[in-house]
Amino acid sequence: MDKKNKVKYLIRKLETLFPEVPIPLDHKDSYTLLIAVLLSAQCTDERVNQITPMLFKKADNPYDMINLTVEEIKEIIRPCGLSPMKSKGIYGLSKIIIEKHNGLVPKNFEDLEDLPGVGHKTASVVMSQAFGFPAFPVDTHIHRLMYRWGLSNGSNVKQTEKDAKRLFPKEKWNKLHLQIIYYARKYSPARGWNINKDIVTKKIGRKSILNKLI
């Protein structure tokens, strides 16, 4: 199967498997989504969703957030890991949003990526899921499956994003990247998989469900 037909098959199959794809991180607006995505670095969405209610009860907007100290933020988000760095990022970006953006999360990549603790992936998630801008955030799940499906060479996430945007229709990016994440979590977990050896150990019956997809 060539790449063109493989992409068509993938889109059709993922739409069948996951016709609805709710955003995994609980949030109420662009600011709370931005904070949740920042917290999700090297942390599960489930854990983030357990912690954010406690944080947002105290501060669910940049004005209330800077009334907390970095230490107070750190204590609340500690279970998410990397709390010293993340707490400084949350406080710093909240301050900048107030000072430079009138308290509103900016709606462009350049300003988002200028915020402390916000990289391209986080900015892509916010642009896609909060503002509906076509983007294709690449996490470890998408990076893994794009390689496994023979759609990218697996060299780095930047190349994987470039390949995904080239291969998939732009109007499907926002939903499709979530569908791939949901698929990976359910059928193709990272444990037991090595990009150099191309191993997928998750089995359902005699065949990997991943091989049934392709």
Active-site position among 74, 86, 139, 163: 139
> In angstroms, rounded to a whole number, what is the distance separating the alpha carbons of residues 13 and 35?
32
Is 121 annotated in the active site? yes
Structure token pair of residue 6: 């493989």
The total number of residues written for the chain in this structure: 214
- In the set 74, 86, 121, 163, the catalytic residue is 121
Q: Cα 142 to chain center, whole Å?
A: 10
**C-alpha triplet 196, 197, 203: angle, nearest 5°:** 130
- Beta-bridged to residue 204, according to DSSP, are 207
- The secondary element (H helix, E strand) that includes residue 206 is none
Q: Are 179 and 141 in contact (CB under 8 A)?
A: no
User: Could you tell me the end-to-end alpha-carbon distance of the chain, in angstroms, rounded to an integer?
Assistant: 9
User: Is residue 139 annotated as a catalytic residue, yes or no?
Assistant: yes
Which residues are the active-site residues? 121, 139
